[in-house]
Amino acid sequence: MRPLVFELLVALLITGLSIFSTIKYRYRPTPANQRAKCSGYKLTSISLTDHGLNGSLTLAGEPCNVYGNDIFNLALEVTYETDDILNVRIYDTEERQFQVPDYVLPRKHFHKARNPTYEFSYTENTFGFVVKRKSNGEVLFNSTGVQLVFEDQYVSFGSKVHDIMHVYGLGENVDNFLRPRDSLSTLWTRDTPSPPRQNIYGFHPFYLDLRDSGRSHGVFLRNSHGMDVVLKPVANASKIEYRILGGVIDLYFILGGEDGNPKSVIEQYTDIIGKPHMPNYWALGWHQCRWGYGTIEMVEEVVENYKKAEIPLEVMWTDIDYMDQYRDFTLHPTNFPLYKVQSFLTKLHSQNQKHVFIVDPAIYHGDDYAPYKEGVDLDVFIKNRDGSIYYGRVWPGFTAFPDWFAPNTQLWWTRQFQRFLEDVPVDGIWIDMNEPASFCFGSCGSGHPPGEHPQGSVDDLVINPNDPVFEPGVPDYNLLNPPYKIHNGYEFLSTQTVATNATHWNNLTEYQTHNLYGHMEGIATYKTLTTINPKTRPFILSRSTFPGSGTYVGHWSGDNWASWPYLYYSITGILNFQMYGIPYVGADVCGFNNHTDEELCNRWHSLGAFYPFARNHNAHNTIAQEPYIWKSITEAAKKALHVRYTLLPYYYTLFAAAYEKGTPVWRALMFEFTDDHTTWDIDKQFMIGPAVLVTPVLDSGRVDVKGYFPKGIWYDWYTHERVYGANRMILDAPLGHIPVHIRGGSVILTQRPAYTTTESRQQPFELIVALDETGHASGEAYLDDGVSLEPVESLRIRFSVCGNRQVVMRSVGSYKPNAKLEKLIIMGVGLDLVVDCGYIDMNKNAVITF
């Protein structure tokens, strides 16, 4: 969410400043000339270990101190973790540089390499290393081509390879899916209304590199400091360079097997950072929210209007409007009185629907506010350097910020939720503003008595670049204004967030840990909800994320804009987060900021119905955009959601694969058709799993859309008409229609849709069999109770057709669904059949002839 002024006057101001910042700071002179003076490091010793090698590095000449103080002695650790994963660590021997703690991102020690698919080599006098793919000698990373600089506040290294790199990742950002070959990606979590090509809410130092050989690999840097990552084409070669504000070099190279398949790379990446969580079945339904439902009656009215329009609604959300003076764990006594909220939740649950509340990390500074008083007593808040509590400014006024490193914070956080949820049994928690966001520079609330509200409106954004904390000579000046300036969208790292010289437990600084904040809040909230309901999967949505966040939370793309470019950017954002191990992700349908219009909102509902996380959401002081507002959008939403709810068993199966293996749910076409170079830069279409291709309209005024169909047979979802690849085609797409195609060779378990997912799960199953050119097809399904954290019973079903006009169904597991298989829908050359199966038990093996 954003202050009011961001939608109108300050929106223009901040957007203007962002553009100015892009012009002024995006093209700062690179440090190449200064770095050329640096002598690098020499390898002074080397020894083999059971799992790789260790070595010592010493500064090769005089220190250059280009952006800090050179560190003279470094340690090298090379670990052959698995046959496809190599870890290279370079760190200061005294280990004073901050490293991401294992309890924040558990470090996996595999030590299972038997026949590595990579080769590691090094140079000694001027140290550098090379990682190659063993099968074809392809150089994946060559640090000998880029000078190593290792200082207390600046670490720089990189790779130069004589090949063309096709790079995906390095975000979170609003941009094309394929990174431009000459580009800069800045990583620093930031509260901002999603400006294109700048750093925003998430921090993901991971990229996937697809080479002309058709093989891909991934590179993950385990480091939480702010950084720039530069891509450059250099004389028929490619160069990537990291410029980091500190920490260590902790690189994982992920090869994805001999063939370097992108899906395998992502699966192996999630072996390192953690597998995604398994969402509740109900989380796959349609969600509705807005900032501006000012009373519980307004919320109830929206639910009723959905029902009248017969548009499926699974989850109703409430933004900060429900709070008393914007304070967490409270209800507004007049607009959201407890008895009315409880009555609403009882009715909602009786209708098999759910509710989600928002919670922000900033805690109101007031002695009459129990969460603050208890937090002080338990010493859970971020501090100033002098030991006093750091006070920023967010919605309630002056606020303190939980320190997730402090030993009592988990206990305190859990207590607040326990009390609140006893009275208000909502079904999920939405954690927002957790970059963390603060509307002033520095500890602006220090010295103010508890309960004092800052002058001016809560919507005022206090920006004062002349604040004395940024003057040379003051304590921590280098933390507040480090010598190397990453290309942060704001000039200063501390703009609109907790200042970088604030301290956490154990004398850690915000400078070191800033990008971990949202991730750690997600972990704390997950632990809280599993403490309260240990057998039930938590539902948590977070704005700020870090590698490994997907184990605990889902994500939405933040404060997007009601415009056609952001309709397109929603696709690229979701595809990126599939790579980052956070498959449960979506964008605000119809846009959050600015007024939408009927055509845009129509197209957005058609596309948004297929997001992994599908929610309509917008800001106050924008027009209403619920799908029942316009008749045309009502019909578009119902049509698209009918397809989504029909596919719910397929979606759920895909999330089970993500949970177990890390396989993306949404997939760029190049993930499924890597050998087809045409797919490598396609990001206006996408695959849902291996079997469903979606081709949305992304431009105003169009009644058709161009789509690319890779090799094979494809079947129109609605008409079963065949399309033959590899081909570009113009598809009819009148307003309210989104082209969807099924890949030949696929078997998809579907279920007759109903108003909620609970009701849908009672309906008969249907099986779509889309034959390939040879009459073959296969598929699988996974089912369980949909809510248990660790289901006791589950059911896995494999379907296959081998050209003999028989579907073979093999089931393993004890879970018994409430419905049976009623019919087959057969699509194939010369075939378009609907076969009545006579209600087949899904738990039994069967052979069905068609």
> Which member of 151, 360, 559, 588 is catalytic?
559
> Which member of 319, 432, 626, 766 is catalytic?
432
The residue segments making up the domain with residue 217 are: 32-273
On whether residue 744 sits in a domain, the answer given is no
On whether residue 73 sits in a domain, the answer given is yes
On whether residue 428 sits in a domain, the answer given is no
| Structure-token match 């598929």, residue found | 779
pLDDT digits (tens, 9 = 90+) for 39-96: 999 999 999 999 999 999 999 999 999 999 999 999 999 999 999 999 999 999 999 9
On whether residue 648 sits in a domain, the answer given is no
Residue range 1-24: mean pLDDT, rounded: 38
Q: Examine the pLDDT at 329 and tell me if it is beyond 90.
A: yes
Tell me if residue 814 falls in helix, strand or coil.
coil
Whole-angstrom CA distances from 670 to 135, 428, 434 are 22, 34, 33
pLDDT digits (tens, 9 = 90+) for 654-687: 999 999 999 999 999 999 999 999 999 999 999 9
Does 559 participate in catalysis according to the annotation? yes
pLDDT digits (tens, 9 = 90+) for 717-738: 999 999 999 899 999 999 999 9
Residue range 578-582: mean pLDDT, rounded: 98
Element (H, E) at 659: helix 648-661
Q: Examine the pLDDT at 595 and tell me if it is beyond 60.
A: yes
* Percent of the chain residues past pLDDT 90, beyond the cut: 90
Please state the φ and ψ torsions of residue 79, each to the nearest 5 degrees.
-125, 120
pLDDT grade for 453, boundaries at 50, 70 and 90:
confident
> Which member of 84, 435, 672, 683 is catalytic?
435
- CA torsion sign for 485, 488, 491, 494 is negative
pLDDT grade for 17, boundaries at 50, 70 and 90:
very low
Q: Examine the pLDDT at 32 and tell me if it is beyond 80.
A: no
On whether residue 176 sits in a domain, the answer given is yes
Whole-angstrom CA distances from 453 to 325, 332, 360, 449, 459 are 11, 18, 18, 9, 13
Closest CA to 663 of 272, 267, 255, 284: 267
pLDDT digits (tens, 9 = 90+) for 515-553: 999 999 999 999 999 999 999 999 999 999 999 999 999
Q: Examine the pLDDT at 24 and tell me if it is beyond 60.
A: no
Whole-angstrom CA distances from 114 to 84, 119, 825 are 10, 13, 46
Q: Examine the pLDDT at 766 and tell me if it is beyond 90.
A: yes
Buried b or exposed e, range 735-768, using 16+ CB within 10 angstroms = bbbbbbbbbbbbbbbbbbbebbbbebbebebbbb
- Mean of the per-residue pLDDT values of the chain: 94
On whether residue 597 sits in a domain, the answer given is no
Residue range 487-503: mean pLDDT, rounded: 96
Query: Per DSSP, what are the bridge partners of residue 394?
Result: 397
pLDDT of residue 454: 87
On whether residue 715 sits in a domain, the answer given is no
Residue range 740-763: mean pLDDT, rounded: 98
What six digits make up the tokens of 746?
């696929």
Residue range 176-200: mean pLDDT, rounded: 97
Domain count, the chain: 1
Using a 10 angstrom Cβ sphere, with 0-12 exposed, 13-18 middle and 19 or more buried, the burial of residue 285 is buried
Does 84 participate in catalysis according to the annotation? no
On whether residue 703 sits in a domain, the answer given is no
Q: How many residues does the chain have?
A: 850
CATH code of the domain containing 52? 2.60.40.1760
Does 432 participate in catalysis according to the annotation? yes
Q: Are strands 315-318 and 704-716 parallel, antiparallel or unpaired?
A: unpaired
Q: Examine the pLDDT at 33 and tell me if it is beyond 50.
A: yes
Distance separating alpha carbons of residues 444 and 498, to the nearest angstrom: 10
Q: What is the dihedral of CA 753, 755, 759, 764, to 10 degrees?
A: -20
